[in-house]
Amino acid sequence: MRSWQRMFVAVMRLLLKCLRLGRRRRFKLLRQVEQLWHYGNLCLLSLLYNSFTNSDVVLDSLFEPIYWLVDHVTRWFGVVFVALVIGLTSSIVAIVYICLLPLILQTYTPAWICWHLAYGHWNLIMIVFHYYMAITTSPGHPPQAKDDLGGVSICRKCIAPKPARTHHCSICNRCVLKMDHHCQAAWLNNCVGHYNHRYFFSFCLFMTMGCIYCSVSGWGVSRAASAAIETYYQTPPPTFSFRQRAFHKSVVYLWVLCSSVALALGALTLWHAALITRGETSIERHINKKERQRLQKKGKVFRNPYSYGGWDNWKVFLGVDVPRHWLTRVLLPSLHL
């Protein structure tokens, strides 16, 4: 073989060897990149994954900034609502004393006057008492000590013992015993829980009764006042004084406001009455509903462990131990636990 042929064969062998080495290095580089990709995926999953992760947890995490904003904004709503309910209730009481009470004293019989004075003031006292207690009474929080609490779960948010029927309030940022809801729609600016649930329900009940009482009592006067207001724009206009015009508008305002509140708050009161009869809170209703459906698919029947029967549930809720408590603890202001 000639020298140039030998040289050509050596160059070709060297070229093939270089190609093999380049291919091996390229494959090795691709394998390293693939290994790094899988390793990064594994690290990310190990940092984010736990046994409680599901679609709900992912959505909660994504909406966490919105929840934070809503929680911090709604805290101020409660203060506004408290001032609003005090102002509206005071205006209704003032109209009753200034406008309706003189008419009652002038036109009703002594028996009806005594009934209106007795019932009206009793209802007002019950509203004020239960509203004040519902606002100022703490709903109750679980103990922070971790001794002798075997079998009690731990809250994932405040890392503290979480007894049965306890739930974490995101607005108060604390766990609440037997939490029903954080009440801002009913103008309490407070959580409704174990120690003030009775005050909250009694306030709703007596406020509804008071609004119905004012609406029924002022129906005739409000109709006459509404008819008088319609004549304001006639030609020639009627000769009503400023005091008479203020009386007409105040009575109509009283009837419209009381009727609206009676409908809205009455529906809320009936809803909570149904929950109390079943031995549930607002939160537990949703939990028990899901549990009932889950057991129904397995052919089993769900039983609420905190329900003692409709009548006994009311006795436990109201704190009635003996028959006289229906008078001293339900129909009269009471501070019993």
The span from the CA of 200 to the CA of 194, in Å, is 11
* Catalytic-labelled residue, pool 169, 175, 183, 204: 183
Query: Under 8 Å CB-to-CB from 37, ≥6 apart: which residues?
Result: none
CB 301 within 8 A of CB 318: no
Strands 161-162 and 153-154: antiparallel
Q: Is 286 exposed, middle or buried (0-12, 13-18, 19+ CB in 10 A)?
A: exposed
In the residue annotation, 183 being an active-site residue is answered as yes
Query: Under 8 Å CB-to-CB from 297, ≥6 apart: which residues?
Result: none
- For the chain, the three-class secondary structure string (H helix, E strand, C coil) is CCHHHHHHHHHHHHHHHHHHHHHHHHHHHHHHHHHHHHHHHHHHHHHHCCCCCCHHHHHHHHCHHHHHHHHHHHHHHHHHHHHHHHHHHHHHHHHHHHHHHHHHHHHCCHHHHHHHHHHHHHHHHHHHHHHHHHHHCCCCCCCCCCCCCCCCEECCCCCCEECCCCEEECCCCEEECCCCEEECCCCCCEEECCCCHHHHHHHHHHHHHHHHHHHHHCHHHHHHHHHHHHHHHCCCCCCCCHHHHHHHHHHHHHHHHHHHHHHHHHHHHHHHHHHHHHCCCHHHHHHHHHHHHHHHHCCCCCCCCCCCCHHHHHHHHHCCCCCCHHHHHHCCCCCCC
The span from the CA of 282 to the CA of 323, in Å, is 29
Active site residues: 183
